[in-house]
Amino acid sequence: MTAALRFDPIRLPEKCEQLRKEVRAFLAEEIAAGTFDPHKPNREDTDVPEFSRKVGAKGWLGMTWPKQYGGHERSFLERYVVTEEMRVANAPTRRFFVADRQSGPVLLKYAPEHIKMDILPRICRGEVCFAIGMSEPNSGSDLFAAKTRATKTDGGYLINGTKIWTSSAHIADYMIAIFRTSPSTKENRRHGLTQFLVKMKQPGIQVNPISQITGQKEFNEVVFTDFFVPDDHVLGEIDGAWKQATSELAYERSGPERFLETYYVLTELVRAVGNNPDTRSAEGIGRLVAQVHTMRRMSVSVAGMLQAGKEPVVEASIVKDIGTVWEQQLPHRVRDLAAFVEETATNRETLEKQLDFAIKTAPKLTIQGGTTEVLRGIIARGLGLR
Amino acid sequence: MAESDNIVAETAEKIFADLADAQTINRDTKGEWKAPLWQALTEAGLPLSWVSEDCGGSGASLAEGFSVLSAAGRFAIAVPLAETMLAGWLLSQGKIASPDGEMTVVPASPKDKITLNADGSLSGKARSVPFAKAAKHFAVLASDAKGSVSIALVDAAKCRIEAGLGLGGDDSDTVTLDKVQPAELKPAPKGFDQTRLMLMGGVARSLQIAGALESLLEISVRYSNERVAFEKKISKFQAVQHNLARLAGESAAALAAATSAADAVANTKEFNDEVFLEAAAAKIRCAEAAEKGGGIAHQVHGAIGFTSEHILHRYSLRALAWRDDFGSESYWAVELGKLVCDRGADELWPLVASR
Ligand SMILES: Cc1cc2nc3c(=O)[nH]c(=O)nc-3n(C[C@H](O)[C@H](O)[C@H](O)COP(=O)(O)OP(=O)(O)OC[C@H]3O[C@@H](n4cnc5c(N)ncnc54)[C@H](O)[C@@H]3O)c2cc1C
């Protein structure tokens, strides 16, 4: 077989179930205290800094990182449980999620020691927000067409150009971005990009929020004008960011956030249908539950591979591909079934509001973090087709 | 479990590769390959994998037997191996020893019921029973007027069998029991019912479907790297690559669902809602994968894959046919949906997260 796919039935160990109870209890307390509303999907405009700090205080940020940097040396599977419980409860994770999932691991691998000692413990305490600066106006899928320049100057680099679609840049303290340090070569068009740590809220950097079809302003245009980045903020190899960026994306691709973003509508549908469903509703719900269960088993399986130190690039891409297509279809399938819900169902209004929001969010799900088409290219490569 | 990670599965793989190669089978219109294959499987003790040694079986674990079924799916095996394994398993639930030879389970659909009459005889009709015509004995699950469940060993010769052919070209027959006296009859263990039998059969079929999809992916990838059109291999066309990536996704989903359910069933002490979720979800998701994935495999092959000469249909049609045995995906979706609604909205996530 060209690419033997394996999705072993990894089971979460007992300590994960213990942890799950703690997370649920914490979330219930926060909901009771009014910190966030679980019936409101993870609205990007509900930025709740205190919540981040409380999650950090619980020890649920940087869970897998070394203790010397404030981490907790726990397993990917434990982190998995925390992520999915937060997601399902619609907790406001936006402020810390990118740092925890992606930026922290990049710093751990590529940042100089003094920067790790400075920033990582603060991420673990839930004090800092990160943004990812990859896309540019003329390079989204084609990451290697990025043009924003980093020009060498005394003690560092001067940045000129524009990043776009940068989630959370308006609240972020840092951005990890790729900039062009030299032209690409004939032999390697991916050559010439370097990864930098950018401190936001400095002169020379302007963040312009962009309104989305949901009405939120969650992503941004970020304009750099002679913006200075010191030498020790270079992450990894000069001109070699393409290797780093692709491995970073593996973390971004298979987690529970990749199939649970619209999950809340399914819960509300079950509530509206009540405990004596007609055949059509029962069948529709049964299929959706079978699908989410399968997605989750695949996602847990990939978490198990990460835990075992493997690099499941193809498997992670498969999970993101079918997971995001699924979460995109889910609100539409729920809408089909909701047409038969009693007018008097107690939560009908909540369900309708949620459906409106979920249907509006759905189009982005197969675009952010690498489009479906690009992912299928990666899978095809894994199958030996390219 | 997808690969042969135990000796039982390895033995099965080797026998299938030697005696049930799809090309050989496809060329042999008289079915002469069947007898040597069955003999080799029997000599290796595989049909009675799930029967303890003191009852005449080979006493393999549930997990080992499940990986034999994955392999059987990868080879689209068309002899009653899964059926005999299931029958042996059912009989041993009633502490009934298994006889030699081909067997199958009756009923094979959740809608069919077999009744145990007051005089100890059995009556009822079971449709679409896989390999009934080929079987020497049936393992029958019946219930009496009060609803108590019994397991019976029945001589196939005592039943009326109307031959039928399933979508995949395998026997799928109607079995009528008209006051048939069983060779042996025992009460089923506490809590054992027809749902359990159907779910066990469903997990077996899920593994077979997932195995068939693995093969569909493999032969489709291979074909796309061979076939040239517009002066290049069709694997170089992005549209074809994306179709194959989707097929890989469906194959992966089926594999994940089926192996997870098999693992759940193999390690369960109590057949609760969680195991129900695993088994029902596997049958639902694997059936959906068979439809989507099988469609893509055919698309990639173009017309050649539509010929009876080509081996593609051995996998694709069987994967589609297996959807119907032991309850279709729509049937299980309704049952799962009812269970979820009955537990209520706030218990949905705890159920999903319990696995
Ligand atoms: C909500 C949201 C948040 C985002 N957050 C961030 C962020 O924080 N940081 C960041 O850097 N980016 C972010 N992005 C940007 C995202 O990564 C890009 O949108 C994505 O990579 C696609 O790039 P594009 O929008 O330029 O589309 P294009 O690259 O122009 O693609 C348009 C269409 O063409 C298809 N296409 C392009 N090339 C090919 C090809 N070779 N083969 C087949 N099809 C192709 C694409 O799949 C897509 O369907 C975000 C996007 C969204 C929607």
pLDDT 10s digits, A69-88: 999 999 999 999 999 999 99
Question: Residue B293: what residue type?
Answer: G
Asked if B277's CB is within 8 angstroms of A298's CB, the reply is: no
CA B145 to chain centre: 30
Query: Could you say which of B238, B344, B352 has the minimum Cβ distance to residue A293?
Result: B352
Confidence of residue A237 (pLDDT cuts 50, 70, 90): very high
A21 close to B (CB below 8 A):
no
Q: Long-range contacts of range A95-98, CB-CB < 8 Å, 24 or more positions apart?
A: A95/A47, A95/A48, A95/A49, A95/A51, A95/A52, A95/A126, A95/A129, A95/A168, A95/A171, A96/A52, A96/A55, A96/A56, A96/A61, A96/A123, A96/A126, A96/A129, A97/A257, A98/A129, A98/A130, A98/A131, A98/A132, A98/A167, A98/A168
What letters, b where the CB count within 10 A reaches 16 and e where it falls short, cover A287-326?
bbbbbbbbbbbbbbbbbbbbbeeeebbbbbbbbbbbbbbb
| Residue minimizing CA distance to atom 51 of ligand 1 | A368
User: Once rounded to an integer, what is the mean pLDDT over residues B229-256?
Assistant: 98
Residue B9 sits at the vertex; the CA angle it makes with B7 and B11, to the nearest 5 degrees, is 70
Measured over the CA atoms of residue B127, residue B128, residue B133 and residue B135, the dihedral's sign is negative
pLDDT of residue A243: 83
3-state secondary structure of B33: coil
Q: Distance (Å, rounded) from C-alpha B354 to C-alpha A12?
A: 9
User: pLDDT > 70: what percent of chain A?
Assistant: 96
What is the Cα–Cα distance from A196 to A145, expressed in whole angstroms?
Answer: 17
Q: Which atom of ligand 1 is nearest to the CA of A134?
A: 11
Q: Is A84 on the interface with B (CB under 8 A)?
A: yes
Sequence-distant (≥ 6) Cβ neighbours of residue B97 within 8 angstroms: B51, B55, B56, B91
Query: Does residue A278 have a pLDDT over 60?
Result: yes
Q: Does A9 touch chain B (CB under 8 A)?
A: yes
**CB of A292 within 8 A of CB of A266?**
yes
Structure tokens at B232: 């290049």
pLDDT digits (tens, 9 = 90+) for A328-361: 999 999 999 999 999 999 899 999 999 999 999 9
Of B2, B260, B345, the CB nearest to A267: B345
Q: How confident is the model at residue B3 (pLDDT cuts 50, 70, 90)?
A: very low
**B326, B283 contact by CB (below 8 A):** yes
The answer to whether B245 contacts A270, with C-beta atoms less than 8 Å apart, is no
Contact A281 B221 (CB under 8 A): no
ipTM, 2 decimals?
0.96
List, chain by chain if needed, residues with CB within 6 Å of any ligand 1 atom. Answer: A 131-135, 140-141, 165-167, 219, 364, 367-368, 370-371, 373-374; B 238
Q: Is A91 on the interface with B (CB under 8 A)?
A: no
pLDDT at A1 over 60: no
Give tens-digit pLDDT for B252-274: 999 999 999 999 999 998 899 99
**pLDDT score at B238:** 97
Q: For residue B234, what is the nearest residue in chain A, using CA coordinates? A: A385
Q: Quick count: other Cβ atoms within 10 Å of Cβ B44?
A: 16
The confidence score (pLDDT) of residue B253 equals: 98
Half-sphere exposure of B146 (CA within 13 A, CB side): 3
Contacts of B300 by beta carbon, 8 Å cutoff, 6+ apart: B220, B223, B224, B234, B240, B243, B244, B247
Which of A256, A250, A208, A212 shows the shortest CA–CA distance to A362?
A212
CA A136 to centroid of ligand 1, rounded, Å: 10
Contact A289/B340 with Cβ under 8 angstroms?
yes
**Chain B touched by A265 (CB under 8 Å):** no
Cα distances (angstroms) measured from residue A93 to each of A83, B87, B170: 9, 51, 53
Give CA–CA dist A5/B103, Å, rounded: 33
Confidence band for B306, pLDDT divided at 50, 70 and 90: very high
Instruction: Give me the pLDDT at residue B34, please.
Output: 94
The CA distance from A318 to the nearest CA of chain B, in Å, is: 6
Summarised one tens digit per residue, pLDDT across range A346-355 is: 899 999 999 9
Could you tell which of A214, A368, A375, A381 is best to mutate to test the pocket of ligand 1, judged by most ligand atoms within 8 Å of the CB? A368
Cβ of residue A54 closer than 8 Å to a chain B Cβ: no
Picking from B221, B260, B353, the nearest residue to A384 by CB comes out as B221
* In chain B, % of residues over pLDDT 70: 99
Chain B residue with CA closest to A374: the answer is B242
> Both ends of chain B: CA-CA distance in Å?
18
**pLDDT(B162) > 90:** yes
Q: How many CB atoms lie within 10 A of CB A276?
A: 10
Q: Are residues A290 and B338, on separate chains, in Cβ contact within 8 Å?
A: no
Lowest mean pLDDT among A95-109, A304-318, B101-115, B273-287: A304-318
Q: Rounded mean pLDDT of A317-326?
A: 96
Residues A296, B352: C-beta atoms closer than 8 Å: yes
The two structure tokens encoding residue A170: 């308006």
Nearest CA to ligand 1 atom 31: A141
Q: What b/e sequence results for B326-353 when a residue is b if at least 16 CB atoms lie within 10 Å of its CB, and e otherwise?
A: bbbbebbbbbbbbbbbeeebebbbebbb
Phi, psi (degrees; rounded to nearest 5) at A223:
-105, 125
Which residues of chain B neighbour A289 with C-beta distances below 8 Å? 277, 281, 336-337, 340, 348, 352
Helix B62-74 and helix B81-93, axial crossing angle in degrees, nearest 10: 160
pLDDT (average), residues B173-199: 97
Residue A44 has pLDDT above 60, yes or no: no
Residue from A43, A220, A328, A367 whose mutation best tests the ligand 1 pocket (most atoms within 8 A of CB): A367
What does the pLDDT read at residue A2? 42
Question: Are the C-beta atoms of residues B171 and B161 closer than 8 Å to each other?
Answer: no
Q: Is a pLDDT exceeding 90 seen at residue B64?
A: yes
Task: State the Cα torsion A136-A240-A102-A74 to the nearest 10°.
Answer: 180
Residue of B nearest to A316 (CA): B249
Question: Which helix (H) or strand (E) covers residue A26, if one does?
Answer: helix A14-32
Helix locations, chain B, DSSP H: 7-19, 22-27, 34-43, 62-74, 81-93, 194-226, 238-266, 273-301, 312-322, 329-343, 348-353
**With the CA atoms of B194, B195, B201 and B204 taken in that order, what torsion angle do they form, in degrees rounded to the nearest 10?**
-150
Instruction: Name the pTM for this structure.
Output: 0.96
Residue B264: per-residue pLDDT: 97
Q: What is the pLDDT of residues B314-333, one digit of tens each?
A: 999 999 999 999 999 999 99
The whole-number average pLDDT for the span B72-96 is 97
Is A376 an interface residue toward B (CB < 8 Å)? yes
Residue B194 CA to residue B204 CA, distance in Å, equals 15
For residue B4, what pLDDT is reported? 45
Instruction: Identify the weakest region by mean pLDDT among A30-44, A227-241, A294-308, B132-146.
Output: A30-44
Exposed / middle / buried, residue B272 (Cβ in 10 Å: 0-12, 13-18, 19+): exposed
Q: CB distance A285–B337 less than 8 Å? A: yes
pLDDT in tens, A165-188: 999 999 999 999 999 999 999 999
8 Å CB contact of B1 and A88: no
Interchain CB distance below 8 Å, B241 and A385: yes
Q: For residue A139, which atom of ligand 1 is closest to its CA?
A: 26
Cβ distance of B336 and A286 shorter than 8 Å:
yes
Number of the ligand 1 atom closest to the C-alpha atom of A169: 8
**B282 near B260, Cβ under 8 Å?**
yes
- Confidence bin at A196 (pLDDT 50/70/90): very high
- If DSSP codes are grouped into helix, strand and coil, which group holds residue B140? strand
Average pLDDT, integer, range A36-52 = 83
B251: which chain A residues are within 8 Å (Cβ-Cβ)? Answer: 5
The pLDDT score that the predictor gives to residue B5 is 58
Cα dist from A253 to A143, A246, A248, A250, A319, whole Å: 17, 11, 9, 5, 7
**Tell me, what DSSP letter sits at residue A99?**
I
The per-residue pLDDT for range A92-146, each reduced to its tens digit, is 999 999 999 999 999 999 999 999 999 999 999 999 999 999 999 989 899 889 9
Question: Among A371, A375, A386, which residue has the most ligand 1 atoms within 8 Å of its CB, making it the best to mutate?
Answer: A371
Q: What is the mean pLDDT of residues B202-227?
A: 98
